[in-house]
Structure 1
Amino acid sequence: MRKFVTLALIGGTLALSACNTVRGAAADMNSAANCTENTINGARC
């Protein structure tokens, strides 16, 4: 569990650092939320 949390934090940090604008960050977060929801429902990202 600790490794998963660590990887999630590192991945989140890298994803946010790749955004150049607040609007880009919001779009990235929305995309990640949609992908997570699709995975939970059995679909692909």
Structure 2
Amino acid sequence: MIRKLATSAALLVGMWALSGCHTVHGVGQDMESGGRAIERSSGE
């Protein structure tokens, strides 16, 4: 049961990531914005 849930979650995340980033440039922007969000949440 847990294995099916983990597989489903991984597929959903993968589909979401691929649909949001159609280019390498888009992937870089997404990673950069994620890094900024982590920096803001850490208080630095």
TM above 0.5, yes or no, is yes
Structure 1 stretches of 5 or more lacking a match?
1-5
| Number of equivalent positions | 34
Alignment-derived partner of residue 26 in structure 1: 28
Percent identity of paired positions between Structure 1 and Structure 2: 24
Higher RCO (CA 8 Å, separation ≥ 6 residues): 1
Larger Rg: 2
Change (3 A) 1:12 1:37: farther
Deviation at 1:12, TM superposition (A): 5.5
The runs of 4+ residues in structure 1 deviating greater than 4 Å are 9-12
1:1-45 correspondence to structure 2 within 5 Å:
10=10, 13=14, 14=16, 16-17=17-18, 18-41=20-43
More helix by share: 2
Taking structure 1 as the reference length, the TM-score comes to 0.56
Structure 2 stretches of 5 or more lacking a match?
1-5
The alignment's C-alpha RMSD in Å is 2.7
